[in-house]
Amino acid sequence: MEEATTLDVRGLSCPLPVLKANKALRALPAGAALVVLATDGAAVKDFHAFAAETGHELLAWGDEGEHLRFVLRKKAA
C-alpha cells in the first residue's frame, strides 16, 4: 500500500471521528488512503456505516490495544 495520511482522533467521541475523517478525505485525491486512530468504541459501527453510505472503502480495521485503527480509501470521483 502506498503511504497513507494519518488522522489522530483519539479521545474524541461519536460523531467527531467520522466527521473529521470525512473532512480529511475531502482534501485527499481519489484513491488515496487515510488511516484513522480512534478510541471511541462506537467508531467501529460508525466507520462501517460511513463507508456504506459514502462509497469510500473501509480496507481494514482493528483493535491495537490502546486505540482502534481504521484504513479507508477515498472513492473515485
The per-residue DSSP string of 9-67 comes to: -TT--TTHHHHHHHHHHHTSPTT-EEEEEE--TTHHHHHHHHHHHH--EEEEEEE-SSS
**pLDDT tens, residue by residue, 13-72:** 999 999 999 999 999 999 999 999 999 999 999 999 999 999 999 999 999 999 999 999
Cα separations (Å) of 5 from 12, 37, 42, 70?
Answer: 19, 11, 22, 12
- The type of residue at 40 is D
Domain range summary for the chain, segments of one domain joined by + = 5-73
19 catalytic per annotation: no
Say which of 4, 5, 12, 14 is annotated catalytic: 14
Fold exhibited by the domain 5-73: Translation Initiation Factor IF3 (3.30.110)
Please tell me the pTM assigned to this model: 0.94
Q: Which residues pair with 63 in a beta bridge?
A: 68
